[in-house]
Structure 1
Amino acid sequence: MSWSLLGEQLELLGPDIVAVALCAARLVPVAFLCPLLGGQAAPTTVKLSLVLSLSLFLRLVAGVGLSTPVESPLVLGALVLKELVYGTSVGLVAALPFDAARMGGRFIDLFRGTSAEASLPVAGSRESATGDGLYQLLVMLVVTGGLFPAVVSGLLRGFGVVGLGAFVPSESAALFVVRLAGGAMATGLAVGAPIAAAALAVDCLMGMASRAAPQMNLQELGAPLRILGGGAILWLGIGVLCERLLAGVMDLEGTLLLLGEAAR
């Protein structure tokens, strides 16, 4: 094959290469932020391979492409930057229900006193067994419960709502993401509120009992009662907590559509 023929073939493939690159630029932040496409647990090679596969699917099967050709490398760089910014917004929104589960678990462990940081103030870290447990449990429920295809479909249908290069970094889109982040924080606090109330009730009862019977050393019973009582409430209410968190995942498809409407 001559160099001229190879050059002609590359020129013909130019629009396809640009479209795949822009699709990948939008999906890369989503793959690194949303646990359903890899998140922090999957190796980087796996996430990048998934991004490339989805980008090829969007171009070759779904026909996603630019409406106008790219005229210069500067224009291509600007389009890649726009797709990265919009992909980061989409990834943040898609990861919010799972971050709410992790925040709720850390809130629970903070009041129960079972986190590594609370147990070992000097040597402990900020790890939270309940936070990681609720996070992984929510991921498992989404993947095995039939919501995974709906979330991925919402992510891919976003290319039809906001075409390649059509993202406009508007104030309404930024405020929309901020409101969703605030809602996720509220969900995390609501998830941990019953256990926090139980821990405060135990402290209140121990305080009143100590005042009523000062000769009895009841202060050492506070921490074990908080841990055991909070764990019992968490075990009994895990179904309600999962339903609350799954409701956020079920709303993701409509939320991503609203984000696309505000961003174009």
Structure 2
Amino acid sequence: MRWELLGGWFASWGPDVVAVALCAARLLPVAFLCPLLGGQAAPTTVKLALVLSLALFLHLEAGVSLSTPVTSPVHLAALTMKELTYGVSLGLVAALPFDAARMGGRFIDLFRGTSAEASLPVTGSRESATGDALHPLLVGLVITGGLMPVVLSGLVRGFGWVPLGAYVPGEGAVLRVVGLAGGAMATGLAVGAPVAAAVMAVDCLVGLVSRAAPQVNLQDMGAPLRILAGGALLWLGVGLFCERLLAGFLEVEDALFQLAEVAR
């Protein structure tokens, strides 16, 4: 009698469980890659709870479900792998603006020194202070500025653009993600270019002064001048840098749509 009840329960609730599981499989990589849904900062239990909540909402309230029934465990495993693969692509695209902020900061510190204090005695560090600052700054601006629905709407609409089980792995999706990653890298280089130019100008000036007046020893002054000039320009231009990074973030929804176009 119990086995019959259990079989009846699976027959009635099985499609719902499968739909929720596939929605969670698509959202799980996004939660681990995109800082807006947790990223590396949030505990794993929090990310898992968020993924389950969103999956339940998508199935129960948005009506996201699997169009064809699952015929075997092998079929379910194949669908799960497809959703996980597509979720990784979505997570990479959603996290690109924040990766651009980190790349821009590291590019800045590459010219100023490995870090802002790397060339100073005793206090030298091998970490990128600017990269670790621009990344959470962009996250804070997105959340406090009410721009978080840009990513959430793109993810929710993605279930309409690419229904469950409709993702087709192929070369087009890979090339699209690579192209978007190249655009994020270009954004990071554009953010760090002004500071890099200022630091190179300081090095040029120090070299000219040393050549014109060999008796003046400016070798020990090069690193502090790079740190000072780069830090001053970074402080003066942080607003412009944030605007450039936010402009890249506003293109996330369109990037998710472009990925969906080649993935179905």
- TM-score normalized by structure 2? 0.95
Residue-pair matches, total: 263
Residue identity over aligned pairs, in percent, reads 75
Q: CA deviation at 1:128?
A: 0.9
Deviations for 1:157-204, whole angstroms, at most 9, x for unmatched residues? 100100000001122211111100111111111100010011111111
Do structure 1's residue 96 and structure 2's residue 90 form an aligned pair? no
**2:86, 2:243 → 1: CA distance?**
29
SS in 1 for 2:163: coil
Q: CA deviation at 1:127?
A: 2.3
**2:19, 2:242 → 1: CA distance?**
39
**1:221, 1:126 → 2: CA distance?**
20
**Is 167-176 or 21-30 further displaced after alignment?**
167-176
Q: 1:116 to 1:201 in 2, by over 3 A?
A: closer
Q: Which residue of 1 aligns with 2:174?
A: 174
Deviations for 1:78-137, whole angstroms, at most 9, x for unmatched residues? 0000001100000000000000000000010111115189449xx977521100110000
Q: Which residue of 1 aligns with 2:187?
A: 187
**2:117, 2:99 → 1: CA distance?**
19
SS in 2 for 1:237: helix
**1:214, 1:81 → 2: CA distance?**
66
- TM-score normalized by structure 1? 0.95
* Unmatched 5+ stretches in structure 1: none
Q: CA deviation at 1:226?
A: 0.6
Q: Which residue of 1 aligns with 2:127?
A: 127
Q: Which residue of 2 aligns with 1:33?
A: 33
Q: Which residue of 1 aligns with 2:241?
A: 241
Q: Which residue of 2 aligns with 1:61?
A: 61
Aligned residue identity for 1:214: P
**2:18, 2:10 → 1: CA distance?**
12
Q: Is the 8 A contact 1:110 1:118 kept in 2?
A: no
**2:150, 2:214 → 1: CA distance?**
59
**1:97, 1:17 → 2: CA distance?**
34
Q: 1:32 to 1:13 in 2, by over 3 A?
A: same
Superposition pairs of residues 106-255 of structure 1, within 5 angstroms: 106-113=106-113, 115=115, 118-119=118-119, 126-255=126-255
Q: Is the 8 A contact 2:104 2:192 kept in 1?
A: yes
**1:117, 1:224 → 2: CA distance?**
9
* Unmatched 5+ stretches in structure 2: none
Q: 1:126 to 1:176 in 2, by over 3 A?
A: farther
Q: CA deviation at 1:5?
A: 2.0
Aligned residue identity for 1:170: G
Aligned residue identity for 2:159: F
Q: Is the 8 A contact 1:117 1:127 kept in 2?
A: no
**2:80, 2:59 → 1: CA distance?**
16
**2:127, 2:184 → 1: CA distance?**
20
Q: CA deviation at 1:10?
A: 2.3
Q: 1:8 to 1:126 in 2, by over 3 A?
A: farther
Q: CA deviation at 1:216?
A: 1.1
Q: Which residue of 2 aligns with 1:52?
A: 52
**1:143, 1:65 → 2: CA distance?**
30
RMSD value, Cα: 1.8
